[in-house]
C-alpha cells in the first residue's frame, strides 16, 4: 500500500467516525456540536472520497444510512414504505443539473415541479386505518421508528378522525416543529425560571417527542405540517393534489408552495424565500423541489437514501464579518474558565450579536486569535453565534495571539487543568469572587431555593456591604441590614426577608441541588434525596454506597464524598441546618411517591433498564418487589421473553401487565431520574 493510500484510508475513517459522532449528538442527544452547514460539508467531502475511492469505503457508511437507530424505548414500528432522506445541495448549479436529469429520464413528458419550504423539525408518519388515527411513528433509521402516539398527541393538534377518507388506510408524512413564537415564549419563560435555554426549535421538538416523561411535555406546543400522503393504491395523480387533500382534512400545510414549470421559476422561488424566510412563523432551512406527477416520480425511483424525484436546496447559514475587539475570560461558579470573544456588533438572523463563547483553551490555541482580526460569525437557527473563520489576509503585522491566562483573571490563583480534560479551573474555591457569587446565584435561583427577590445586582450589593459571603449568611440578614442597601425601601426590604424565610420550606432535594455540588443537577439531587432520605446519612455515605446507585459513576461519587469531607462545606451545612432548612425528606413526600405501597413482579429482559436498574427504580418509586404472582400483586412489568406461566397467571387474576414504557410513564421516570 502506498503512503498516499494510507492517508486516504485514514481520512475516510476519520470522517466516517466524525460524522457518526455528529449524527449521535444531533439525532440522539438533540444537541448538535456543529452547524448543519459544517456537518453537510463533512458529508460532502466523504461522498466525494467514497466516489473516487469506492474500495476504501467503510462498511455501513453514514453516507448511506438514514437518521439514527430508533430508541428502543417504545415498540418498534416498521414503515411499509421506507421514510427516506432528501438529496441536498447548497449550489444553484446542482438544481439546474437536477432539473436536466429529471427531464432526461422522461424526455417526452412535460414535467412540473412543486417547490415548498423545507421545515427544520422532525419527520413523523401518521397512520390512519378506516379514517381513524392509529399510530404516530418517528422516522428512526428509515425502515422502522418509534411509536410516539401518546406523546405526540399530547403536544400537537392533529385530525384524529377523517370523516370523508376515500381510502381505508393511508399515511400522512410531515414535519413536527415548534413555531418561532412558541419557541421564544418557551425560552423566555425558562430564562425567568433560571433554567438552561434550548438552542433552537428543532432541538426542543426532537427533545419533546423523545421525552420519557409525558408530564415534561405538557405545556410545550408543537405543530405539524403535512407534506406528503402515502396510499397503498394509487389514488391521486399529483403531489399538488395530495397537499390539497391534506389541507381539506384539517392538516396544516404551508400554503406558500408553488408549482413551477422550469428552472427559472424554481430559482425565482428560491431567491424570494431567501429574502423573506425570516418573515415566516416557522424556521425553514431550504426549499424542497419535487416532481409533481406521481407516475413520473415512480419512473425516477429512489436510491437507498433518497428519492431521485426530489432535491432540497439548502440556504447557507447567515454570516457576517466583524472585528475582534477582545477576548475575556469568565470564571463560572465551579471555577471553570471560559474564553468569550467580543466583537463589533453585527446583525445576524434579525438580532444584534457582539459576543461568542469559545468553549475552551484548546479551541483558543488552535485558532490563535489576534485583537483586530477580521472574523466571520455564523448564526443559523441557533441562538448562540459561533466564530467560523478568520481572514488572515487582513491581519495586521506585529500583533501577538491572545493566550489563555496562566492564572485566574479574578483572583490571580494559578489555574489548574485535570489530566485529559480541555478545561482550566481556578482552584481557589474559598476566595475567588465570581465563584462565590456564582454559587450564591445558583443557590437563590428558581429551581433551587427560589429566592426570587435576589438577583445578580442584589448579590453584588450584599457582597459589597460585607453582609453575605455564603448562602448561610442570607438567613442571618436583618431588616436594618437590607434597608441600608441602595435601591431598597421598607416594602422591598420586607419582601426580600419574607422571600428568604419562605425558602426554608423548600424540600430536601432542592436544598441538595442548591448547594452547587459539582455534577449534582436537580435530577441527581432528587435521586440522592430519595435514596438517603436525610443529609446526615448522605454526609456519612461511603463511596461504595454512592457507587451502588446506578446513575452515579466513579467521578461523581468521588466529588460527592470530597464535598462532604471538606471542612468549609461542613461548616456551611451546619449553619444552613441551624437556619432551619429542610435536611430530610418530608413524610408527605414519601407518601406521594408514585408507587407507594404497591407490590410489583418483574419478568423477562428489558431494552432500556438493566434488571438491577429496574429493581432500583421500583424501590425508589416506593414499591416493593415480589417474586411470585398472587392476588396481592398490583402490577407485573413484562419484558422480552417474560415467563408465559407468570403472564397467564397475572391475566387470570386481572393484574395489569405493564411494558417498560408504561412503567416509566407510571413512575414519571424523568422526575425520579433512576438510571
Query: Residue positions in the annotated binding site?
Result: 36-40, 85-86, 116, 139, 175, 290, 314, 408, 411, 426, 432
Please, what is the minimum distance in Å from the beta carbon of residue 88 to ligand NAD? 5
What are the percentages of helix, strand and coil residues in the chain, rounded to 5?
40, 20, 40
Enumerate residues 6+ apart whose C-beta is below 8 A from 272. Answer: none
Residue with cell 427559472: 264
Stretch that binds ligand NAD, among 83-91, 359-367, 454-462, 596-604 (CB under 6 A): 83-91
Residue 40 binds ligand NAD (CB under 6 A): yes
Residue choice 102, 123, 136, 623 for contact with ligand NAD (CB under 6 A): 123
CB closer to Zn ion out of 432 and 674: 432
- In 96-185 the beta strands, taken as DSSP E runs, fall at 113-119, 122-129, 132-138, 144-146, 169-177
Residues in binding contact with ligand NAD, number by CB under 6 A:
24
- Three-class SS of 162-212: CCCCCCCEEEEEEEEECCHHHHHHHHHHHHHCCCCCCCCHHHHHHHHHHCC
CB of 34 or CB of 423, closer to ligand NAD: 34
In the sheet with 169-177, reading across from the earlier edge strand, the strands are 132-138, 122-129, 169-177, 223-230
Catalytic-residue membership of 57: no
Among 102, 270, 410, 441, binds Zn ion (CB under 5 A): 410
Nearer to ligand NAD, 254 or 657 (CB): 254
Longest dimension (CA), the chain: 90
CB 89 within 8 A of CB 313: yes
Q: Any residues with CB less than 8 A from the CB of 652 and at least 6 apart, and which?
A: none
Which residues, including other chains, have CB under 8 Å from residue 49's CB and lie 6 or more apart? 8, 11, 12, 15, 56
The nearer residue to Zn ion, 178 or 331, going by C-beta atoms, is: 331
Interaction of residue 116 with ligand NAD, rule CB under 6 A: yes
Question: Binders of ligand NAD among 278-307, rule CB under 6 A?
Answer: 288
Stretch that binds ligand NAD, among 21-29, 502-510, 585-593, 600-608 (CB under 6 A): 21-29
Burial readout 258-293 (b: 16 or more C-beta within 10 A, e: otherwise): bebeebeebbebbeebeeebeeeebbbbbbbbbbbb
* Eight-state DSSP code of residue 409: T
Residue 511 binds to Zn ion (criterion: CB under 5 A): no
- Residue 28 or 97 with smaller CB distance to ligand NAD: 28
Supply the minimum distance, in Å, between the C-beta of residue 331 and Zn ion.
5
Grid coordinates belonging to 237: 395523480
224 binding ligand NAD? (CB under 6 A): no
The binder of 557, among Zn ion, ligand NAD, none, by C-beta within 5 to 8 A per type, is none
User: Cα-atom radius of gyration of the chain, to the nearest Å?
Assistant: 29
Q: Binding of Zn ion at residue 46 (CB under 5 A)?
A: no
Is residue 408 near Zn ion by the rule CB under 5 A?
yes
Rank residues 119 and 349 by Cβ distance to ligand NAD and give the closer one.
Answer: 119
**Is 119 an interacting residue with respect to ligand NAD (CB under 6 A)?**
yes
**Rounded distance between C-alpha atoms, residue 177 and residue 184, angstroms:** 13
Q: Which of 6, 51, 104, 118 is catalytic?
A: 118
Q: Which of ligand NAD, Zn ion, none is residue 88 near (CB under 5 to 8 Å by kind)?
A: ligand NAD
Buried b (16+ CB within 10 A) or exposed e, 207-216: bbbbbbbbeb
Rounded Cα–Cα distance for residues 357 and 556 (Å): 26
Shorter beta-carbon distance to ligand NAD: residue 155 or 451: 155
Q: Which helix (H) or strand (E) holds 625?
A: strand 624-625
Which range binds ligand NAD by CB under 6 A, 22-30, 216-224, 517-525, 589-597?
22-30
Shortest CB 49 distance to ligand NAD, Å = 18
Residue 284: in which H helix or E strand, if any?
strand 284-291
- If binding is defined by CB under 6 A, does position 222 make contact with ligand NAD? no
Q: Which of 411, 453, 561, 647 binds Zn ion (CB under 5 A)?
A: 411
Residue 34 binding ligand NAD, by CB under 6 A: yes
Stretch that binds ligand NAD, among 18-26, 71-79, 157-165, 344-352 (CB under 6 A): 18-26
Catalytic residues, by residue number, are: 118
Residues that bind Zn ion (CB under 5 A): 408, 410-411, 413, 426, 428, 432
For ligand NAD, the binding residues (CB under 6 A) are: 22-23, 25-26, 32, 34-36, 39-40, 66-67, 85-86, 88, 116, 118-119, 123, 139, 175, 227, 288, 312
Amino acid at each position: 500500500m502506498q503512503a498516499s493510500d494510507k492517508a486516504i484510508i485514514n481520512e475516510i475513517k476519520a470522517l466516517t467516525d466524525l460524522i457518526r459522532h455528529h449524527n449521535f449528538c444531533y439525532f440522539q442527544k438533540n444537541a448538535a456540536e456543529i452547524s448543519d452547514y459544517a456537518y453537510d460539508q463533512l458529508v460532502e467531502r466523504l461522498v466525494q472520497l467514497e466516489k473516487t475511492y469506492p474500495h476504501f469505503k467503510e462498511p455501513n457508511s453514514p453516507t448511506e444510512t438514514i437518521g439514527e437507530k430508533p430508541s428502543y424505548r417504545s415498540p418498534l414500528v416498521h414503515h411499509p414504505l421506507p421514510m427516506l432522506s432528501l438529496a441536498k445541495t447548497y449550489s444553484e448549479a446542482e438544481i439546474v443539473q437536477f432539473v436536466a436529469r429529471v427531464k432526461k429520464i422522461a424526455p417526452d413528458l412535460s414535467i412540473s415541479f412543486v417547490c415548498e419550504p423545507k421545515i427544520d423539525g422532525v419527520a413523523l408518519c401518521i397512520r390512519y386505518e378506516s379514517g381513524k388515527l392509529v399510530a404516530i411513528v418517528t422516522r428512526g433509521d428509515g425502515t422502522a421508528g418509534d411509536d410516539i402516539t401518546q406523546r405526540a398527541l399530547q403536544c400537537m393538534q392533529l385530525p384524529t378522525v377523517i370523516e370523508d377518507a376515500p381510502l381505508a388506510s393511508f399515511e400522512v408524512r410531515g414535519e413536527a416543529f415548534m413555531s418561532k413564537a412558541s419557541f421564544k415564549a418557551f425560552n423566555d419563560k425558562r430564562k425567568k425560571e433560571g433554567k438552561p435555554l434550548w438552542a433552537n426549535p428543532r432541538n426542543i421538538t426532537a427533545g419533546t417527542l423523545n421525552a420519557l416523561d409525558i408530564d415534561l411535555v405538557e405545556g410545550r406546543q408543537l405543530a405539524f405540517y403535512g407534506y406528503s400522503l402515502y396510499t397503498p393504491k394509487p389514488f391521486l395523480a399529483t403531489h399538488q393534489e395530495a397537499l390539497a387533500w391534506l389541507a381539506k382534512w384539517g392538516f396544516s400545510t404551508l400554503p406558500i408552495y408553488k408549482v413551477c414549470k422550469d428552472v427559472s421559476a424554481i430559482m425565482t422561488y428560491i431567491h424570494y424565500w431567501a429574502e423573506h424566510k425570516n418573515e415566516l412563523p416557522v424556521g425553514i432551512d431550504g426549499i424542497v423541489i419535487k416532481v409533481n406527477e406521481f407516475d413520473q416520480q415512480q419512473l425516477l425511483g429512489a436510491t437507498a437514501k433518497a428519492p431521485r424525484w426530489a432535491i432540497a436546496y439548502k440556504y447557507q447559514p447567515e454570516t457576517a464579518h466583524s472585528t475582534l475587539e477582545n477576548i475575556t475570560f469568565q470564571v463560572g461558579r465551579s471555577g471553570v474558565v471560559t474564553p468569550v470573544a467580543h466583537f463589533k456588533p453585527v446583525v445576524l438572523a434579525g438580532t444584534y450579536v457582539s459576543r461568542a463563547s469559545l468553549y475552551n483553551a484548546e479551541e483558543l490555541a488552535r485558532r490563535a486569535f489576534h485583537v483586530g482580526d477580521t472574523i466571520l460569525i455564523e448564526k443559523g437557527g441557533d441562538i448562540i453565534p459561533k466564530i467560523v473563520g478568520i481572514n488572515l489576509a487582513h491581519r495586521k503585522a506585529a500583533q501577538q495571539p491572545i493566550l489563555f491566562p496562566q492564572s485566574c483573571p479574578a483572583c490571580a490563583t494559578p489555574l489548574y487543568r485535570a489530566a485529559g480534560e480541555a478545561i482550566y479551573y481556578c482552584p481557589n474555591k474559598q476566595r475567588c469572587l465570581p465563584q462565590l457569587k456564582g454559587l450564591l446565584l445558583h443557590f437563590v435561583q428558581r429551581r433551587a431555593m427560589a429566592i426570587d427577590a435576589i438577583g445578580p445586582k442584589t448579590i453584588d450589593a450584599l457582597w459589597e456591604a460585607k453582609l453575605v459571603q455564603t448562602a448561610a449568611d442570607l438567613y442571618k440578614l436583618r431588616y436594618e441590614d437590607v434597608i441600608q442597601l441602595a435601591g431598597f425601601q421598607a416594602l422591598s426590604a420586607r419582601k426580600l426577608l419574607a422571600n428568604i424565610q419562605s425558602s426554608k420550606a423548600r424540600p430536601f432535594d432542592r436544598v441538595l441541588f442548591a448547594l452547587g455540588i459539582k455534577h449534582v443537577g436537580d435530577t441527581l439531587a432528587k435521586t440522592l434525596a430519595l435514596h438517603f432520605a436525610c443529609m446526615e446519612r448522605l454526609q456519612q455515605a461511603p463511596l461504595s454506597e454512592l457507587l451502588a446507585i446506578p446513575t452515579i459513576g466513579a467521578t461523581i461519587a468521588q466529588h460527592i464524598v470530597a464535598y462532604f469531607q471538606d471542612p468549609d462545606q461542613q461548616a456551611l451545612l451546619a449553619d444552613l441546618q441551624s437556619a432551619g432548612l429542610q435536611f430530610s425528606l418530608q413524610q408527605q413526600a414519601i407518601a406521594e411517591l408514585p408507587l407507594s405501597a404497591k407490590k410489583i413482579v418483574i419478568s423477562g429482559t428489558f431494552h432500556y433498564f438493566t434488571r438491577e436498574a429496574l429493581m432500583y427504580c421500583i424501590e425508589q418509586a416506593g414499591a416493593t418487589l415480589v417474586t411470585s404472582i398472587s392476588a396481592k400483586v398490583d402490577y407485573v412489568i413484562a419484558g422480552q421473553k417474560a415467563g408465559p406461566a407468570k403472564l397467564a397467571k397475572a391475566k387470570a387474576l386481572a393484574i395489569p401487565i405493564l411494558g417498560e414504557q408504561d412503567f416509566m410513564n407510571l413512575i414519571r421516570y424523568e422526575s425520579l431520574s433512576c438510571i
